[in-house]
Chains A and B, each alone.
Chain A
Amino acid sequence: DGGITQSPKYLFRKEGQNVTLSCEQNLNHDAMYWYRQDPGQGLRLIYYSQIVNDFQKGDIAEGYSVSREKKESFPLTVTSAQKNPTAFYLCASGLWTGLYGYTFGSGTRLTVV
């Protein structure tokens, strides 16, 4: 079945550590996105990529980094510079036109301990 796989489902991080969240899709979508979901704030865009080896900052990119070396993969690194990293992170993919909306992964819940 085609879809998006995010791993791990739950992740615990100590303060000062970098962690990388995985996102893989087999939908042959050109565009991939990372959103952060916090209660009462909806989904906020962190980074997005329309093609391989290219990506752009979203609304809340500070403290995060990404790479897009393969069409299928768009990992997100939450760095120690991110002041409030505890959140639910959602990866999505879609056609480059954005016309049909996105397909979402099941998310990763990151907790800083």
Chain B
Amino acid sequence: AQSVSQHNHHVILSEAASLELGCNYSYGGTVNLFWYVQYPGQHLQLLLKYFSGDPLVKGIKGFEAEFIKSKFSFNLRKPSVQWSDTAEYFCAVGGSNDYKLSFGAGTTVTVRA
């Protein structure tokens, strides 16, 4: 069974600081990887995804993530956060032949102005 681990439950940053959220997964095959974001009062939306090719993927709002196969990791980064990045972030993993996504527990990011 696949599982997803997000290392940080709550991260507090000041504006302009850099952000990195860790995500490790356990799965015995080829994976599709996703990061979702849930802004306060809004529904979950896709930030970025990785299927194949360049392991460094860029998403919306200046976010990027790097897939490191040897470490089973898919960490999310943003060089300079804004107050509007305050949200909960979820890492998700699906097998390439699977229809289901497994989600991590989520990381709450609070950006202080």
Contacts and interface: CB of A to CB of B under 8 A. Distances in A.
Interface of A: 31, 33, 35, 40-45, 48, 50, 58, 90, 92, 94, 96-102, 104-107
A90 B99 contact: no
Interface string B23-39: 00000000010101000
Given A42-B90, A104-B45, A98 B98 contact: yes
A90 B44 contact: yes
Interface of B: 4, 6, 9, 32, 34, 36, 42-46, 49, 51, 90, 92, 94, 98-106
B99 A98 contact: yes
A97 B99 contact: yes
Contact of A101 (B43, B46, B105): B46
Contacts, number: 58
Contacts of B32: 98-99, 101
A40 B105 contact: yes
A42 B103 contact: yes
Nearest to B105: A42
B100 A58 contact: yes
A95 to B, nearest CB: 9
B45 A43 contact: no
Given A43-B103, A50-B99, 12 more contacts: A42-B4, A42-B6, A44-B103, A90-B44, A94-B99, A98-B94, A99-B32, A99-B51, A101-B32, A102-B46, A102-B101, A106-B42
